Amino acid sequence: MAWYGFNFQWIFSWSLDRKPLPPDLRALDFMAEQGFNFVRLAADYRFWTRDFKYEEPDVSILSVIDSYLAACRERGIHLSFNMHRVPGYCINAPEIEKHNLWLDREAQDGFTYQWEWFARHFKGIPADRLSFDLVNEPPNIGQYGMTREIHAAIIGRVVTAVRAVDAQRTIVIDGLEGGNVAMPELADLDLVHSGRGYQPMTVSHQGANWWHGWEGHPAVYPGGDWMGRQWDRQALHAYFEPWRQVEARGARIHMGEFGCYNHTPNDVALRWLADLMSVWREAGWGWALWNFEGPFGIINHGRPGGHFEDVGGFRVDRDLLALLQP
């Protein structure tokens, strides 16, 4: 999967006073100039759904997404449209949902309907220009009632529905347990399986105020005791073995999210990211950084010790850019 790029948040989290952002043309120009070819667009279904009426979507969102797709196509960039929040589930604040995707028929019907709706609208767009990433980061097995069997049944239903409308559409599914756990049970559906590059989280999420598991575990790499192992390139290689096994059964693999928060010492971040890139390059997998600009990005991340230069009008971490480029 020779897709290399970034996650963008133009329609990431809806609120009453928040409107969709236009495509960031400067960022897309920068990507194309630097050899990147992939945008993962994380979307919140509430931008086109009101009062949990899943089967009455607001068609005005289609022109917004059309504008994102057109901007990417003009620059030879693949757009992967991801529902980060879907009817009945989001890894962030799932409790605000009226229904439960894993247990409630209403959410499952709405989830399927919305992907069919998008499939009809985008039918005919070449598969190398647009993919559907069905649901961001399903929960831990057993959490919210989700099991492997329930997840596989829901994914299978949506895949069948989309392909009944548009048989050639590329479909992406995120690993279980926050994108980390591979899914051999779905290896035969001709899908792209999307993993994550955040382990060890004591390095990637050091200092995060939304996850406190790093407390008492300094950001050390190589080394550092996390999940019962000492982390180095060999440990990273072993961690992704289940994904290689799924790939061996015919699935395609892509790493749809990874990144390092800006509280991790810069030398530690670069050593870890260099090994991560090395493991993925060896496997032939592409990747998408979370995200382009900000504390996890390559632009203005604010990590002390970073080597910043002006590139294309952006304040870019030159060392990180060199690691990420295809």
**Predicted confidence pLDDT, tens digits, the chain (326 residues):** 699 999 999 999 999 999 999 999 999 999 999 999 999 999 999 999 999 999 999 999 999 999 999 999 999 999 999 999 999 999 999 999 999 999 999 999 999 999 999 999 999 999 999 999 999 999 999 999 999 999 999 999 999 999 999 999 999 999 999 999 999 999 999 999 999 999 999 999 999 999 999 999 999 999 988 999 999 999 999 999 999 999 999 999 999 999 999 999 999 999 999 999 999 999 999 999 999 999 999 999 999 889 999 998 999 999 999 999 98
CA 286 to chain centre: 12
Residue-level pLDDT at 224:
86
Question: What SS3 class is residue 2?
Answer: coil
pTM of the model: 0.96
Q: Is 100 exposed, middle or buried (0-12, 13-18, 19+ CB in 10 A)?
A: middle
Amino acid at 219: A
In the numeric block, which tokens belong to residue 218?
């300094």
In the numeric block, which tokens belong to residue 231?
């982390």
Residue-level pLDDT at 155:
98
Cα–Cα distances in angstroms (integers) from residue 123 to residues 26, 66, 166, 206, in the given order: 28, 12, 6, 43
Domains of the chain, earliest start first: 4-324 (3.20.20.80)
Amino acid at 271: R
Residue-level pLDDT at 191:
98
Q: Is the CB of residue 203 less than 8 Å from the CB of residue 260?
A: yes
Q: Is the CB of residue 257 less than 8 Å from the CB of residue 179?
A: yes
- Name the E strands within the chain: 4-11, 38-44, 78-85, 130-133, 170-174, 192-197, 223-226, 229-231, 252-258, 286-289, 308-311, 314-317
- In degrees and rounded to multiples of 5, residue 13 shows phi and psi of -145, 115
Q: Is the CB of residue 272 less than 8 Å from the CB of residue 232?
A: no
How far apart are alpha carbons 321 and 34 in whole angstroms?
A: 9
How far apart are alpha carbons 286 and 326 in whole angstroms?
A: 8
Residue-level pLDDT at 1:
67
